Structure 1
Amino acid sequence: MTSRGRSKGERIDIDYSSTQAFFDKRGKADYANVLSATMYQDSNPELVEQRDATEKQVLSPQLRLGTGSRVLDIGCGIGRWGWFVHDQAPSAQYLGIDFSPSLVEKAHAEAGLRGKPELRFQVMSATDITPDTLVLAPPYDLIIVSGLLIYLNDQDCLKLLTQAGKLCAPGGQIYLREPVGVSERFTLDRFYSNELQHEYSAIYRTIAELEQLLEQALTPGAFSVRASDFLFAQDLEKRAETRQYYRILQKAAQP
């Protein structure tokens, strides 16, 4: 077991094979609350439930889902956003993609347990989205990128955000939610987490860095910011160095 540890300020690339091993292991494990598979807090299932409910409560009035809406969830994990989409707009079409086969398998199982078998899931990496093979064809009225960019290096963040911009329908929205570095960028590079019992890699960017990525990835003038804010009050945050931040982008309608 190796652990490079923590690095502040530097731009260090993380190893995706290590990240995939981490998530494949979590997809195969059992938890007191299944949400912990990708939201962690393994020993505090109540906090996981609160965070999930709070995020969806904040987003519910802002994400405009209607009859026939098409939703793509990139890095879907166990499919928790699919449950939300189905509850908000039962006739909406949802596809979740994730690079972890075990998480996609768990997502299928959880959708069945919740009486939502029509939710679709597909194994596909966020760094290699092939639109022609997506089982729900683009464009999409809503694209969800929730807690994903921290596991991607900068160039792949740009690639993903550029692709999301192209896959989003005119008038559609992109929901982006990320844990951000409060004062500076820092990276965990194969850092052994006692809480998670596994090596963990992630890049916590600042809000300014996220804004820069979006400016570079999206066509100028194509998107406007509908909302942006910290997601949780401090009592739902667990670490002083990071906070959960979200932004909703709306694509301009066709003239």
Structure 2
Amino acid sequence: MGNIPETRIYGKNVDIDSNAVKNLYSARSEKNGDRPVDAPTVLSSDTNIENIELWTKEELERWFPQFPLDNESIVLEIGFGTGRMTRHITSKAGEYVGIDYVKEFVDTVKKREDIVKKENTVFLHMPLEQFAAENHSRYSKRFNRLFLSGGVFMYMNDCTLKECMAHLADMLQESCVMYISEPVAVEERLTLNAFYSETIQDNYSAIYRTVDEYRELFSPFLNQGFALEVCQEFFENDIKKMKETKQWIFILKRTKRG
């Protein structure tokens, strides 16, 4: 018999299959049925549907006020999912570009009547690495707001993510606010590689990096004048209740000099 591959890996840098993750979310969207529209993207809702409302309520009250929006705001949202937070952004921002690599999510967001679509509201079906590689020149110094809520980087391997960070740094204006919420590993890096999750009852892959690893990944921004102003646990009362991981919030800001 051959060796059984590890599915729960601590400390090591192991690549995951990003396409498998995309297919999982596509399948979750297709079988959502009568559940709330945002259920496919809030994985903890599989065991408690109220977690969707609790997550969004705390986010809007506690963290979203630190992401100011007005008609001058030009927003890039990474991984908008089913639009859980998008509907609170497009109505206020002057321009909005959102990307997601799950086609079913893009279709959902375009159909949602509670999401304001302006002339300068754009939803793109593509992964972050494609958007960053193909558009970093087109959107050079374009965005003054970057928003990511829930988790996207956790589904990307290190090499790919580092390239994306460098491209994203070139797309941001001198005055800019970055809002990033991702799950992190509490003690050491944890990789789930086709690990069977009791919560979602399917194989699941993700990379839970430590906070220090994210600080290092943010180097392209920190080296260009951004300050990491918020770096702490996202929930006051953790709705996920995981022992080895926590939802985290990072807010980076850069202000125009002079």
Same fold? TM cut 0.5? yes
The CA deviation at 1:248 is 0.9
Q: Cα distance 1:24–1:132, how it changes in 2: closer, same or farther (>3 A)?
A: same
Structure 1 residue identity aligned to 2:109: A
* 2:170 counterpart of 1:166: yes
1:83 to 87, 92, 96: 87
Evaluate the alpha carbon distance shift between residue 8 and residue 226 of structure 1 in structure 2; reply closer, same or farther with a 3 A threshold: same
Structure 2 residue identity aligned to 1:92: G
Matches within 5 A, 1:82-231: 82-86=86-90, 89=92, 91-110=93-112, 113-114=113-114, 116-118=116-118, 119-129=121-131, 130-131=134-135, 139-146=142-149, 147-215=151-219, 217-218=220-221, 220-231=223-234
Asked if structure 1 preserves the Cα contact closer than 8 Å seen for 2:183 and 2:208, the reply is yes
Distance 1:128 1:16, change over 3 A: same
CA distance in 2, matches of 1:29, 1:141: 36
Q: Matched residues in 2 for 1:173 and 1:115: separation?
A: 22
Residue 253 of structure 1 corresponds to which residue in structure 2? Answer: 256
Would you identify which runs of 4 or more consecutive aligned residues in structure 1 move more than 6 Å? none
Question: Equivalent residue of 2:81, what SS?
Answer: coil
Structure 1 unaligned regions, length at least 5: none
Deviation at 1:6, TM superposition (A): 0.7
Report the Cα distance in structure 1 between the residues aligned to 2:193 and 2:159, rounded to whole angstroms.
17
Residue of 64, 68, 75 corresponding to 1:60:
64
Q: How far does the alpha carbon of each residue in 1:159-184 deviate from its partner, in whole angstroms, 9 at most, with x for none? A: 22222221111111111111111111
Contact 2:136 2:167 in 1 (8 A): no
Instruction: Provide the rounded CA distance (Å) in 2 between the counterparts of 1:83 and 1:137.
Output: 26
Inter-partner Cα distance in structure 1 for 2:46 and 2:104? 18
Question: In 2, are the aligned partners of 1:82 and 1:94 still within 8 Å (CA)?
Answer: no
Q: Deviation at 1:207?
A: 0.5
Helix, strand or coil: the match of 1:50? helix
Q: Does 1:6 align with 2:8?
A: yes
Superimposed CA distance per residue, residues 71-97 of structure 1 (whole angstroms, 9 cap, x where no aligned partner):
11111111222211145x2x5322210
TM-score by length of 1: 0.88
Cross-structure match for 1:241? 244
Q: 1:95 to 1:81 in 2, by over 3 A?
A: farther
User: Aligned partners of 1:133 and 1:167: how far apart in 2?
Assistant: 8
The residue number in structure 2 matching 1:71 is 75
Q: For structure 2, which runs of at least 5 residues remain unmatched after alignment?
A: none
